């Protein structure tokens, strides 16, 4: 079973998003996604300053098995990509909701965050996917 | 639900991630694929390969039959238990399957064919067997476990039936021996030393558990793929199929041209291809950039032409992406690979990439 933290929001495409105290949003891929991909070997995180639109592919995670796009959950400006993933892509496998974060975004409109799937809805989406 | 090997329940109980592989529910890993890869390079891992099909071929003329059906020549096999790797070809030279055949005695050869091609292989064998009065018997009663790695034989020997151990440990490379319903061969698909053990299906779970107690790590098909690719071994369906000949698939070395009067199926087509010049060849690739080669990516050889990646992965040993590709024959030492809209440089090398735990190419 994969871990779906209750405080996070999700996309059906398996990204998670966390609203930080300073109003920025941290983004990564879910525990389910990292399990499905297997050992991660390369991550291309976006650079700070890049404008992204909600639903835009803005990072790539590549595992032994497959390459997968990571979609931005909101529109806004990337304020950081996780530089640690360059040398240690396995952080995503080890700690997908912590050290394995991929990017931080300053959203144009926080309402976009509120509209994302909550943990319960994401769990339901996972259940539907595996049946 | 897919086909299941006798070890299916064991895999599920040990937390394996199961995937469909050619219609079979197989373990892709039991945790980390990369860790499983390293354990085979450094010590000992085991793979459930019971989905592969063992076929016993018997008859007074079985040797003649195989000399007609296989591009390699079983006449090279003169010692009991000796194995030969060969392609089985259509008349036009396309590869029906690649396989291993063991010479058991003058009236009995044992063949191991791929899971995904099993039905068409059996059909092909049977279609030609009649003329030679050869019986074709798939051994669905046997399971197969590959124990691989520098420590594999020693560890596995501690749990093999005592009366069989000495003979099994004496086997040279590419030799097998039987003991009752058990068969041990010093073969594999990882580039490491080890055994492939065929055994009665109802004994498989117990033997697997005992190997585990002896320190052999269960490994999934994910690690099997990265290991075989590092070892420069082809995967049927990826690196060759019925649309290409062995000459275009890096398997020219498996064709036995001599004696010249041996008329194996596909010979005329291969000879014609050779006479006209083979337009494409198989090469190894090492990607110079941070991305991963995958099958079907386009290969661009500047001023020469284009080709295609047939297998690609991340090599845990090289910590680079490696692959096999079919490219124009004039390709030399460089090419470019189209990955997500960009052309990334790759070095063209001669496989294997890794042999017996050591890097075998220049990085």
Q: Are A64 and B37 in contact (CB under 8 A)?
A: no
Query: pLDDT band at residue B1, thresholds of 50, 70 and 90?
Result: confident
Biggest CA pair distance of chain B? 62
pLDDT at position B363 is 85
- From first to last of its 131 residues, what are the pLDDT tens digits of chain A? 689 999 999 999 999 999 999 999 999 999 999 999 999 999 999 999 999 999 999 999 999 988 999 999 999 999 999 999 999 999 999 999 999 999 999 999 999 999 999 999 999 999 998 76
Specify the CATH class of A22-121 in words.
mainly beta
Q: Between A and B, how many residue pairs show a Cβ–Cβ distance under 8 A?
A: 38
State the average pLDDT over residues B281-296. 96
Give the Cα separation of B360 and B354 in Å (integer). Answer: 5
Residues in B touching A64 (Cβ below 8 Å): 33-34, 222, 226, 292, 313-314, 316
Separation in Å, CA of A33 to nearest CA in chain B: 13
**CB within 8 Å: B340 and A93:** no
Question: A42 contacts in B (CB within 8 Å)?
Answer: 290-292, 314
Reduce the DSSP state of residue B153 to 3 states and report it. Answer: helix
> To which H or E segment does residue B171 belong?
none
B309 in contact with chain A, both atoms CB, cutoff 8 A: no
CA atoms of B179 and B173, how far apart (whole Å): 18
Chain B contact set for A41 (CB, 8 A): 292, 314
pLDDT in tens, B29-40: 999 999 999 999
- CB-closest option in B17, B34, B290 to A64: B34
Given a contact cutoff of 8 angstroms between Cβ atoms, the answer to whether A102 and A3 are in contact is no
| pLDDT value, residue B22 | 87
The neighbour count for residue B20, using CB atoms within 10 Å, is 12
Q: How far is A110 from chain B (nearest CA, A)?
A: 31
Contacts of B17 in chain A (CB under 8 A): 35, 38
Domain ranges of chain A: 22-121
3-class DSSP state of B128: helix
Distance to chain B for A39, nearest Cα, Å: 6
Task: Indicate if the pLDDT at residue B251 is higher than 70.
Answer: yes
Q: pTM score, two decimals?
A: 0.93
Q: What percent of chain B has pLDDT over 90?
A: 98
Contacts of B41 (CB under 8 A, 6+ apart): B149, B150, B192, B227, B317, B354, B357
Asked if B265 and B132 touch (Cβ cutoff 8 Å), the reply is no
ipTM of the complex: 0.81
Using an 8 Å CB-CB cutoff, list chain B residues near A38.
Answer: 17, 28-29, 32-33, 222
Contacts of A93 in chain B (CB under 8 A): 32
Number of Cβ atoms within 10 Å of the Cβ of B274: 14
The predicted structure's pLDDT at residue B346: 98
Closest-CA residue of chain A to B320: A41
Closest by Cβ to A65, choosing from B222, B290, B340: B222
Question: Token pair of B70, please?
Answer: 């296989």
Q: For B84-111, what is each residue's pLDDT tens digit?
A: 999 999 999 999 999 999 999 999 999 9
Per-residue pLDDT tens over the stretch B326-351: 999 999 999 999 999 999 999 999 99
């Amino acid at each position: 079973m994969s871990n779906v933290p209750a405080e996070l929001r999700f996309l059906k495409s398996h990204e998670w998003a966390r609203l930080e105290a300073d109003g920025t949003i941290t983004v990564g891929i879910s525990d389910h996604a990292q399990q499905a991909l297997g050992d991660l070997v390369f991550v291309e995180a976006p650079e700070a300053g890049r404008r992204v639109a909600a639903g835009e592919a803005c990072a790539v995670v590549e595992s032994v098995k497959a390459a997968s796009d990571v979609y931005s959950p909101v529109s806004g400006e990337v304020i950081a990509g996780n530089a640690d993933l360059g040398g240690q892509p396995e952080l995503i496998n080890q700690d997908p909701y912590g050290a394995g974060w991929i990017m931080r975004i300053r959203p144009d409109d926080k309402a976009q965050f509120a509209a994302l799937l909550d943990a319960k809805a994401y769990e339901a989406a996972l259940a539907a996917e595996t049946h | 639900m897919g086909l299941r090997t006798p070890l299916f329940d064991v895999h599920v109980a040990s937390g394996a991630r199961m995937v469909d592989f050619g219609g079979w529910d197989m373990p892709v890993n039991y945790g980390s694929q990369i860790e499983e890869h390293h354990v085979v390079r450094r010590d000992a891992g085991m793979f459930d390969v019971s989905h592969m099909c063992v076929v016993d071929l018997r008859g007074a003329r079985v040797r003649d039959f195989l000399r007609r059906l296989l591009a390699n020549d079983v006449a090279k096999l003169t010692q009991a238990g000796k194995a030969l790797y060969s392609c089985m070809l259509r008349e036009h030279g396309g590869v029906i399957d690649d396989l291993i055949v063991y010479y058991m005695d003058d009236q009995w050869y044992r063949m191991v064919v791929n899971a995904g091609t099993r039905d068409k292989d059996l059909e092909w064998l049977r279609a030609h067997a009649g003329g030679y009065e050869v019986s074709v018997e798939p051994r669905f009663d046997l399971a197969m476990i590959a124990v691989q790695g520098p420590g594999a034989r020693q560890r596995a020997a501690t749990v093999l039936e005592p009366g069989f151990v000495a003979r099994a440990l004496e086997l040279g490379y590419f030799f097998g021996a039987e003991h009752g319903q058990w068969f041990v061969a010093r073969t594999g698909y990882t580039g490491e030393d080890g055994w492939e053990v065929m055994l009665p299906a109802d004994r498989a779970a117990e033997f697997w558990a005992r190997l585990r107690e002896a320190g052999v790590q269960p490994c999934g098909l994910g690690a099997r793929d990265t290991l075989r690719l590092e070892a420069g071994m082809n995967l049927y369906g990826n690196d060759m199929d019925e649309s290409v000949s062995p000459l275009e698939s890096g398997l020219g070395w498996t064709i036995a041209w001599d004696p010249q009067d041996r008329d194996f199926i596909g010979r005329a087509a291969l000879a014609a291809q050779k006479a006209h010049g083979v337009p494409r060849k198989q090469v190894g690739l090492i990607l110079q950039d941070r991305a991963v080669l995958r099958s079907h990516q386009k290969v661009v050889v500047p001023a020469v032409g284009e080709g295609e990646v047939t297998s690609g992965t991340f090599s845990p040993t090289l910590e680079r992406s490696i692959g096999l590709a079919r490219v124009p024959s004039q390709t030399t030492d460089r090419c470019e690979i189209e990955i997500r809209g960009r052309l990334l440089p790759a070095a063209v090398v001669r496989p294997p990439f890794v042999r017996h735990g050591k890097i075998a190419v220049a990085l």
